[in-house]
Amino acid sequence: MPHVQLRDVVAYYEEAGSGPPLLLIAGLGGHSGLWSPQLRSLSLGRRVIAFDNRGAGRTSAPDKPYSIAGMADDACQLLDRLEIEKASVAGYGMGGAIALELAAEQADRVENLVLIGTAARPGGRQAVVTEGWAAARRSNLSREQAFALTAPWLYTPALLADPSLRDQAIASGANDPHPAQDHAYARQAGAFLAYDATSKLAAIEQPALVLSGEEDILVAPADAAALAEALPNGTHQQLPGAHAGLVEHPQAYAAAITEFLAAPVPAG
The full set of domains in the chain, from first to last, is: 3-262 (3.40.50.1820)
Eight-class DSSP state of 19:
S
* pTM > 0.75: yes
How many whole angstroms separate alpha carbon 54 and alpha carbon 76? Answer: 13
Our CA dihedral for 183, 187, 189, 192, rounded to 10 degrees, sits at -170
| DSSP 3-state of 213 | strand
pLDDT digits (tens, 9 = 90+) for 14-41: 999 999 999 999 999 999 999 999 999 9
Which alpha helices (DSSP H) does 43-162 contain, by range? 68-81, 94-105, 124-138, 143-154, 157-161
Instruction: Please state the rounded mean pLDDT for residues 137-152.
Output: 93
pLDDT digits (tens, 9 = 90+) for 91-127: 999 999 999 999 999 999 999 999 999 999 999 999 9
Is residue 264's pLDDT more than 90? no
Question: Count of CB atoms within 10 A of residue 210's CB?
Answer: 28
Instruction: Please state the rounded mean pLDDT for residues 61-68.
Output: 98
Instruction: Please state the rounded mean pLDDT for residues 190-214.
Output: 98
Is residue 241's pLDDT more than 80? yes
